[in-house]
Amino acid sequence: MTAHQQLQRRLGVFDATSIGLGSMLGAGVFVVFAPATALAGNFLVLSVLIAGAVAYCNAVASAELAARYPSSGGTYVYGRERLGEWPGFLAGWGFVTGKTASCAAMALTFGHYVAPGYAIPVAVAAVVALTVVNLLGITRTALLTRILLCVVLATLVFVAIASIAGPHPAGTAAETDALGGAGGILPAAGLMFFAFAGYARIATLGEEVKDPARTIPRAILAALAAAFAIYLALALLLLNHLPDGQLAASRAPLLDAVLNSGLAAGAPLVQAGAAAACLGALLALITGVGRTTLAMARERDLPGPLARVGGKHTVPFVAELTVGAVVILLLLTTDVMTVVGFSSFGVLIYYAVANAAAYTLAEHPGHAPRWLNGVGFFSCLLLAFTLPAMSVLGMALVLAAGVAGRFLVLRLRR
């Protein structure tokens, strides 16, 4: 690797934790409870617990590997180093494609909250603005993430107070019976996992973290613990506060929780918090996808110019600009609001590779025994293949296209 391709280590534990938690408390926290409740009904809390357990398996695997291989790219790098080029490529391609679609979904969600009549132009403007922030350097990214995270946390505290204050109307038996039950627990856990997956952003920033062997594990586990506590508390409060049928059908469950309370005047705060959450998640997503793109380009799994790093703030500017351009193209040409399951499948495959890579390590800390990597691997595959069929089929075709493309390129090079 040439000197001009090196990034600089600028992030401490607090910055890295903020980026991870900001990713996990993105737009998902404002929408995911409704489709998950529609699938699992009163078993929603169990789905949250399962998603959190699988996320823990993945988090400790990522922490072990990131401390050992502190470079940009996350599981793409770990898969290549521990399992070979093809597993690494599968993880990287799944992450880049799935999360690029997620970027477009986050941007459009922001547009709908801020200016429903002009959602697409506002979404494009948000992508342009946040790409510029990323080009100003990773410390600016961390600062803006902290600011947005504070707004989101204040919003969630307000929603919790409103939910506790009540009233707590009971749903009808017909509404409850119309919802999913035990058979929907795993699909709902797969959707909830989408909301937990933000700690991957910490690992993808491994080349920009100070003292990575110490910082990355602490930041990943701290961000996951905080997110798990918040999601579990919100699931319990929403189930107690909103009738089951209303929660399952809601397009904005946290906003409905406030509107159905005695604190309805605070609804604009929830809208502002949702907008901030979308921006925070989008900022972290663009950063993480750009770093994985950089890593793949370094290994010639993506075009070489994407590995260029430079400018005053030493950022992967070609990768960042390319990711921003692709997201804008998706916003202008496709319907990107149906990609949660699509992205979840890609990310679960990504973490299956992470667990398999961690399993090959010779030494494991006490809180992450080797058998936990095996549990994580099979749990990721189980959740992935219990997602809605169209999500599984769509992402499987994208992964197959990437594998076929890489195979042809390697043949031509030879």
**Cα–Cα dist 328/125, whole Å:** 9
Q: Is the peptide bond before 167 cis (omega within 30 degrees of 0)?
A: yes
d(CA 326, CA 73): 19
| Distance of alpha carbon 398 from alpha carbon 100, whole angstroms | 13
Task: Measure the CA–CA gap between 193 and 198, rounded to whole angstroms.
Answer: 10
Per-residue pLDDT 10s for the chain (414 aa) are 444 455 567 677 777 787 778 777 776 787 788 888 888 888 889 999 999 899 889 888 888 887 788 776 778 889 999 999 999 999 989 888 888 888 887 888 788 777 878 888 999 999 999 888 777 765 566 677 778 788 888 889 999 998 888 776 655 544 555 566 778 888 888 888 877 777 666 766 666 777 777 777 788 888 888 889 999 999 999 888 887 677 887 777 888 888 888 888 888 888 888 888 888 778 778 877 887 888 888 888 888 888 877 656 567 778 888 888 998 998 888 765 566 677 778 888 989 999 999 999 988 877 778 999 999 999 999 988 888 788 888 889 999 999 999 999 888 887
**Which domains can be identified in the chain, with CATH numbers?**
9-413 (1.20.1740.10)
Residue 1 is predicted with a pLDDT of 45
What is the rounded CA–CA span in Å between residue 21 and residue 196? 9
User: What is the predicted pLDDT for the residue at 31?
Assistant: 75
Q: Are 65 and 78 in contact (CB under 8 A)?
A: yes
pLDDT, position 6 = 55
Q: What is the pTM assigned to this prediction?
A: 0.78
Please give the span between the terminal C-alpha atoms of the chain, in angstroms, as a whole number.
Answer: 22
Take residue 206 and report the two structure tokens written for it: 């491994």
Q: How far is the C-alpha of 127 from the C-alpha of 137, rounded, in Å?
A: 16
User: Rounded to whole angstroms, how far apart are CA atoms 127 and 356?
Assistant: 34
Q: Would you state the structure tokens that stand for residue 220, as one six-digit string? A: 């990943």
Q: In this predicted structure, what is the pLDDT of residue 344?
A: 79
Q: Which one, of 361, 363, 354, lies nearest residue 77 by Cα? A: 354
The pLDDT, as a whole number, for residue 372 is 93
What is the pLDDT, as a whole number, of residue 169?
64
Q: Which residue in 165, 185, 220, 183 sits closest to 17, CA to CA?
A: 220
